[in-house]
Structure 1
Amino acid sequence: MSTAIKMKLKIANIGKALLGAALCAGSLLIWQVAHAERLKDLASIQGVRQNQLIGYGLVVGLDGSGDQTTQTPFTVQSVVSMLQSLGVNLPPGTSLQLKNVAAVMVTASLPAFSQPGQTLDVTVSSMGNAKSLRGGTLVMTPLKGADGQIYAIAQGNVLVGGVGAAASGSKAQINHLSVGRISSGATVERAVPSSLGQGEMIYLELNDTDFSTASRVVEAVNRRFGPETAAAQDGRVIRVRAPQSSDQRVAFLGALESINVTPAQTNAKVILNARTGSVVMNQAVTLDSCAVSHGNLSVVINTEPVISQPAPMSGGQTVVTSASQIDIKKEPGQVLLLKGGTSLADVVKALNAIGATPQDLLAILQAMKAAGSLRAELEII
């Protein structure tokens, strides 16, 4: 083989190696970018929050599906009070039989920086025994905050995402009929004071307390805006120096929220829902080698009535008794060796090898945690 051909082969091999290294570097870069999150998804700005509003009102115009006044006297009292405020005085002792009115609770969320005149979506929920709120209209209802002040006024036609019909004891219903929603049904009347523009410092609050993530956020902010711009106050709150001008501060916060930060790895955790049997675990869960044996024990009790009929003309009485049959079944359990797993896929594969139901898996995971083979925190909800 000539020297020129050998040189060409060497150059080709070097090119392939460089291309492979570039592809590896590119895949690593993609992995890092894919796992980085915006700061606005990891933290919130202190003082920028929603406020819950609540109010009590009446929905009128129902097609006979309102509250039964004999069982919900507060509906009648509310109607009488509303009529008196409108200048209608009923004679004493008047008995109202209302079928087209329902007492409801109205709830809404007041976003941060909301100003008078803006509109909000409201949720209307029946608090009596109304059959349906479909086709009803919410009359003017003040919405109050936790301090008792009125921040919005709600009124409008209620939209219910369901339908139902009943006749002769039969009933058919689709979705929920006692809760509806009014789009842009409330008008803001009072603004909530905000302390965002006061002082030279703003505070970021992480969604989850984590010292590693807090330090990474500080490094990313200082890298973007300069040294000593951010400092961690603790594992959750980060103090950031911001411009004094409101215009510059808004632009600064917009740039701050768009910073990409790679959060620290979360704690290994397994969530157990004892009511539904659901088991959810994150990627940090690992498993040490252990042996598991599990068997099911079922007890079935079957009771049937037994009637003792006396002979004719004997003067005896018919006696009804019951005979019970108890059946106990115990399924044998095999001892299975579960090998240690360092990834979530290994853990799932090992748990599937047990062949237990989700309800059985709750007890097995608790026993594995007590034995020290499950490297995760158990949380029962």
Structure 2
Amino acid sequence: MRNIRWWLLLAAGMVSIAFAQSPTAPTVRLKDIAQIRGVRSNQLIGYGLVVGLEGTGDSSGALFTVQSIANMLERFGITVPPNAIKVKNVAAVMVTAELPPFARAGNTIDVVVSSLGDARSLHGGTLLQTPLRGADGQIYAVAQGPISIGGFNFGGGGARVQRNHTTVGRIPNGAVIEREVPSAFLHGDNSLTIQLHKPDFTTAARVVSSIRSAFPNLAVRAVDPATIRVGLDAASSVDPVMLIAQLEMLSVLPDVVARIVVNERTGTVVINGDVRIAPVAIAHGGITVRVQTTFEVSQPPPLSGGRTQVVPQTQVDATEEPARMVFLREGASVESLVKALNALGVSPRDLIAILQALKSAGALHAEIEVQ
């Protein structure tokens, strides 16, 4: 009787240890997988001139640069014929920036300056005052200042040394915001909308459950796999900003679709941890073909009237490696798959072919995305 009781206690202890050591599923903050509708950035773009270049600007063939300089000088009351303008110290550029949400007039933002003509480098240049417009054509910011490119391009006497990309640069805090973009995150019915970055039915349902658990008094529903509507009581004194801050910090377990991403150009294969494999046997063997060509001189006999010719001699050798086979059990994980394929000694490009063959055989339970 004592032995039976001792075995029962031991079994109960082992079960408790097993449950205690089981890994918990990783969760993320809601703000990392979703955003509030209406809170978004806007793209800005403008055309400008960079001056002060040390002979690395556009050539005279860049007619738009010449015309831009003539127009700029004319605004200052100086009239110069376009054919008299030398532009080697000037470059025409496109200026781009991101206007963040809730940015106020007077704030500064970074801008990116990119050469539009055939300038060799923007090193040492200064961007002249450039208006930045939105998609509606309105001016929202004005950019100006010295350009930082983080590289160099020097040369002479037929030799040239270049480091990094010298025709694109940045101006930190180089644009001043002149017009604000209204960001309305509350709808007319006193509700807000949460948008998932990657629509998914399971993730949307989990977000709704998490919000209901933390805020039982809120009216929450999933409109579709990407949209969750949160209604606020009109008579409630809840601060919308504080509520959104608390919503963003909620922990949610996003659902991940088993997927394998393959880039055939670089031979890169990325496999997430949810990939499962049915029972399958994999055999892999390779054939190596070596073609070697040597050129020999064929010399004719004396006084034969023949010509000396170069004759190619080609030798082809083919070596077939013995096929090796591994077996994977039901429900094998990605770790088992990687270990098995490494045991076969496959290259990344062979791995791509094997994965596609497993998918065709119905043994790979995952989506294959080819880039």
Q: If the TM-score is normalised by the length of the shorter chain, which range does it land in?
A: 0.7 to 0.9
CA 1:306–1:57 in structure 2 vs 1: closer, same or farther (change >3 Å)? Answer: farther
CA 1:25–1:372 in structure 2 vs 1: closer, same or farther (change >3 Å)? Answer: closer
Q: Is the 8 A contact 2:59 2:118 kept in 1?
A: yes
1:59 maps to 2:50: yes
Q: Is the 8 A contact 1:242 1:252 kept in 2?
A: no
CA distance in structure 2 between the partners assigned to 1:215 and 1:271 by the alignment: 26
Q: Is the 8 A contact 1:290 1:338 kept in 2?
A: yes
Matches within 5 A, 1:271-290: 271-288=261-278, 289-290=280-281
Which segment drifts farther, 199-208 or 243-252? 243-252
Ranges in structure 2 where 5+ consecutive residues have no aligned partner: none
Q: Which residue of 2 aligns with 1:104?
A: 93
CA 1:333–1:147 in structure 2 vs 1: closer, same or farther (change >3 Å)? Answer: farther
CA distance in structure 1 between the partners assigned to 2:283 and 2:217 by the alignment: 54
CA 1:298–1:142 in structure 2 vs 1: closer, same or farther (change >3 Å)? Answer: farther
TM-score (norm 1): 0.84
How many residue pairs were aligned?
361
Root-mean-square deviation (CA, aligned residues, Å) is 3.3
Q: Which residue of 2 aligns with 1:178?
A: 167
Matches within 5 A, 1:213-228: 213-227=203-217
Kindly provide the CA deviation profile for residues 66-94 of structure 1, in whole angstroms up to 9, marking residues without a partner as x.
11122x22111111111112221114x63
Secondary structure at the counterpart of residue 103 of structure 2: coil
Residue 240 of structure 1 deviates from its aligned partner by: 0.6
Kindly provide the CA deviation profile for residues 227-263 of structure 1, in whole angstroms up to 9, marking residues without a partner as x.
5521000111101113669981111111111111122
CA 1:305–1:237 in structure 2 vs 1: closer, same or farther (change >3 Å)? Answer: farther
Q: Which residue of 2 aligns with 1:233?
A: 223
TM-score (norm 2): 0.86
Kindly provide the CA deviation profile for residues 1-30 of structure 1, in whole angstroms up to 9, marking residues without a partner as x.
xxxxx9xxx9xx989x88994x766655xx
Letter in 2 for 1:210: D
Q: Is the 8 A contact 1:66 1:132 kept in 2?
A: yes
Kindly provide the CA deviation profile for residues 168-224 of structure 1, in whole angstroms up to 9, marking residues without a partner as x.
111222222111110100111111122313321111111111111111110111111
Q: Is the 8 A contact 2:285 2:320 kept in 1?
A: no
Q: Which residue of 1 aligns with 2:65?
A: 75
Q: Which residue of 2 aligns with 1:3?
A: none
Which of 113, 121, 124 in structure 2 is aligned with 1:135?
A: 124
Ranges in structure 1 where 5+ consecutive residues have no aligned partner: 1-5
Matches within 5 A, 1:1-381: 21=16, 31-32=23-24, 35-70=26-61, 72-91=62-81, 94-199=83-188, 200-227=190-217, 229-242=219-232, 248-264=239-255, 266-288=256-278, 289-298=280-289, 300=291, 302=293, 323=312, 325=314, 327=316, 329-340=318-329, 342-381=332-371
CA 1:338–1:169 in structure 2 vs 1: closer, same or farther (change >3 Å)? Answer: farther
CA distance in structure 2 between the partners assigned to 1:189 and 1:79 by the alignment: 25
Q: Percent identical across equivalent pairs?
A: 43
Q: Is the 8 A contact 1:243 1:252 kept in 2?
A: no
Residue 298 of structure 1 deviates from its aligned partner by: 3.7
Residue 149 of structure 1 deviates from its aligned partner by: 1.5
Q: Is the 8 A contact 2:111 2:172 kept in 1?
A: yes
CA 1:297–1:73 in structure 2 vs 1: closer, same or farther (change >3 Å)? Answer: farther
Letter in 2 for 1:337: V
Letter in 1 for 2:99: L
CA 1:18–1:366 in structure 2 vs 1: closer, same or farther (change >3 Å)? Answer: closer
Q: Is the 8 A contact 1:290 1:373 kept in 2?
A: no
Residue 335 of structure 1 deviates from its aligned partner by: 4.5
CA 1:349–1:107 in structure 2 vs 1: closer, same or farther (change >3 Å)? Answer: same
CA 1:269–1:20 in structure 2 vs 1: closer, same or farther (change >3 Å)? Answer: closer
Residue 57 of structure 1 deviates from its aligned partner by: 0.9
CA distance in structure 1 between the partners assigned to 2:268 and 2:182 by the alignment: 43
